[in-house]
Amino acid sequence: MDKKIFVYDTTLRDGMQGVGSHFTIEDKKRITALLDSLGVPFIECGAPGFNPKDQQFFEYLESHPLRNSKAVAFGSTCRADVPCEEDANLQALINCFAEYVCIFGKSSEFQAKAILGISKEKNLEIIRRSIEYLRKNGKHVFYDAEHFFDGYADDREYAVSTIKVAKEAGAELICLCDTRGAAMPEEIKAVFESDEIKECGPVGIHAHNDIGFAAINTIEAARHGAEFVQVTLMGIGERCGNADFFTVIPTMKLKLGMDCVSNECISEITQSYYKAADLLNIKAYAREPYVGRDAFSHKGGIHIDGVLKDSRTYEHINPEAVGNHRRSVLSEVSGKAAVISKIKKIMPGVEISSEDAEKVVMALKNMELEGFQYEGADASFEILVRKTLGLSKEFFRLDSYRVTSVNAKSSAIVDVLVGDEEAVTSADGNGPVDALDSSLRKALSKFYPGISNMHLVDYKVRVLDSKRGTASKVRVLIESTDGKHNWVTVGMSEDIIEASKMALLDSHEYLLYSLM
């Protein structure tokens, strides 16, 4: 590794400022535990002087020390007209158990006058005395130079003077903040390469994403002199968010050879991404670089054929390097080689010839012409293959069904044939689809006891032609589980219940094949 870069996470502070972000004390505990397990050196755990909840959280951390990380308490410079000894914010930082504190201050005359109502000289004074006071009281002090790049563009000399004062006062790390998220990569590079900035080191970067450049600006800073980077899990934060841990860290580690996290952290980073999504209550983004479900998914026939021959043709890294995996997604643009590969993967015991593959390709094209889509529905694709190649088995036949909903209460009745035996059952459910699923399982479990372990975990509907209004075809995707494995099936119809029924039948049939 050529260069050591420290990771400084601010999910629990700046991330909390994002719209929709709200963490309980228990949430904070779990998020901190995840970051600690990833070996993040510094975790900004909140602002005890601004938020009673953060104060409680620091009290918890005092009796539950972290294994790998240092907790950092966040605050601001003192108020201009108040002695440090009487400033409530600084007193909260001093009274907090955390050895490390980070305070922010203004880096431009405009900000000092417009926000604080003070002169640029007074601004320098409060930066100096705030840091000196915290140092005198035994704290390791980091300094966030707020609006630094704006201040640097307006008055370079004054912006630099603010961080020089912070350095002279005893700040151990200085973070240059692109607070409005509007800096261009060349601006970042120029600042971090300048000798006057290097003299104030160690310096780092805090980048916002208002023009979509938070990740690239963070990486540019690391390439040109920054010694630490501030990030948040999934890029959450004020307005458009911050630099995303899951994009920045693997890029620095795998592309630039920087020593920022352990090899173990990188090898499990995809799993960590999905843990973070659960903890933050944010839906995982399928196209998230490195860690998303589709990051190494291939749909085009030429692409699939290429990665089968040599993965370097269309993949920039080995998916396993980040704990992800390759997916071949079948559709009407897939070729025979892709179909053969897919069938061998999901049905390893089935021999498949080129002629068989051609049959499946044609069946796939015909079904997708009607509106079906098998990209995320491998279970339905397996059912299609079995039927196309004469490998299917009739476990049951749904002779008839009826679904009713009255005052938000749904019930379903099904008439199922298994061989020569008939089962007529009814069940209630939370909505018509749940009722239909329950009644089907109730009927089939008499013949196939293993099916009673199955239940739905997700249900998605897409309108295929919104211009037709209520007459539009709808595509339904259903995710089911038996407690050990999950699978997805698809149905399509102008009737949403009929589309749901198709997906449900495939789901039950798929499970029965797996129980054979």
Q: What mean pLDDT comes out for the span 131-145?
A: 98
- Chain mean pLDDT for the chain: 92
Q: What mean pLDDT comes out for the span 102-117?
A: 94
User: Is residue 184's pLDDT more than 90?
Assistant: yes
pLDDT in tens, 289-306: 999 988 998 876 677 678
User: Is residue 414's pLDDT more than 90?
Assistant: yes
Share of the chain above pLDDT 90, in %: 74
Asked which of 5-19, 301-315, 487-501 is least confident by mean pLDDT, the reply is 301-315
Query: Is residue 309 a contact partner of residue 338, using CB atoms and an 8 Å limit?
Result: no
37-63 exposure pattern, b = at least 16 Cβ within 10 A, e = fewer: bbebbbbbbbbbbbeeebbebbeebee
Residue 467 is predicted with a pLDDT of 61
Residue whose pair of structure tokens reads 């840091």 in the numeric block = 131
The residue out of 261, 287, 314 marking a domain boundary is: 261
Q: Label residue 420 exposed, middle or buried (CB < 10 Å: 0-12, 13-18, 19+).
A: exposed
User: Is residue 477's pLDDT more than 60?
Assistant: yes
443-454 exposure pattern, b = at least 16 Cβ within 10 A, e = fewer: bbbeebeebeeb
The enclosing domain of 212 has a CATH number of 3.20.20.70
User: Is residue 76's pLDDT more than 50?
Assistant: yes
pTM: 0.76
Residue 148 is predicted with a pLDDT of 98
Residue whose pair of structure tokens reads 């915290």 in the numeric block = 134
pLDDT in tens, 264-291: 999 999 999 989 998 998 988 989 999 9
Is residue 382 in a domain?
Answer: no
Residue 146 is predicted with a pLDDT of 97
- List residues bridging with 203 in a β-sheet: 174
Residue 469 is predicted with a pLDDT of 59
The residue out of 216, 234, 261 marking a domain boundary is: 261
> 398 CB contacts (<8 Å, ≥6 apart)?
414, 415, 416, 440, 501, 505
Residue 222 is predicted with a pLDDT of 97
Is residue 406 in a domain?
Answer: yes
Instruction: Give the range of the structural domain holding residue 509, as residue numbers without chain letter.
Output: 397-514
CA atoms 59, 60, 66, 71: torsion sign? negative
Is residue 266 in a domain?
Answer: no
Distance CA 30, CA 43 (A): 13
Is residue 245 in a domain?
Answer: yes
Q: What mean pLDDT comes out for the span 233-257?
A: 97
Q: What mean pLDDT comes out for the span 131-158?
A: 97
Retrieve residue 146's tokens: 């707020």
The enclosing domain of 470 has a CATH number of 3.30.160.270
Question: Over the Cα atoms of the chain, what is R_g?
Answer: 29
Residue 177 is predicted with a pLDDT of 98
The residue out of 229, 261, 293 marking a domain boundary is: 261
Is residue 138 in a domain?
Answer: yes
Q: What mean pLDDT comes out for the span 192-197?
A: 97
Residue 426 is predicted with a pLDDT of 95
User: Is residue 506's pLDDT more than 60?
Assistant: yes
pLDDT in tens, 307-352: 778 888 989 999 999 999 887 766 655 566 667 777 777 777 777 7
Is residue 111 in a domain?
Answer: yes
Query: Is residue 30 a contact partner of residue 278, using CB atoms and an 8 Å limit?
Result: no
Residue 334 is predicted with a pLDDT of 59
User: Is residue 149's pLDDT more than 90?
Assistant: yes
DSSP state of 244: B
Residue 224 is predicted with a pLDDT of 97
Give the pLDDT band (50/70/90) at residue 1. Answer: very low
CA atoms 441, 446, 448, 453: torsion sign? positive
Is residue 472 in a domain?
Answer: yes
Amino acid at 375: E
Distance CA 418, CA 328 (A): 35
Residue 331 is predicted with a pLDDT of 60
User: Is residue 478's pLDDT more than 80?
Assistant: yes
Query: Is residue 75 a contact partner of residue 90, using CB atoms and an 8 Å limit?
Result: yes
DSSP state of 202: S
pLDDT in tens, 415-459: 999 999 999 999 999 899 999 999 999 999 999 999 998 988 889
Q: Where are the beta strands (DSSP E) in 319-381?
A: 327-328
Query: Is residue 239 a contact partner of residue 210, using CB atoms and an 8 Å limit?
Result: yes
Is residue 321 in a domain?
Answer: no
Query: Is residue 110 a contact partner of residue 67, using CB atoms and an 8 Å limit?
Result: no
Residue 341 is predicted with a pLDDT of 74
**What is the number of domains present in the chain?**
2
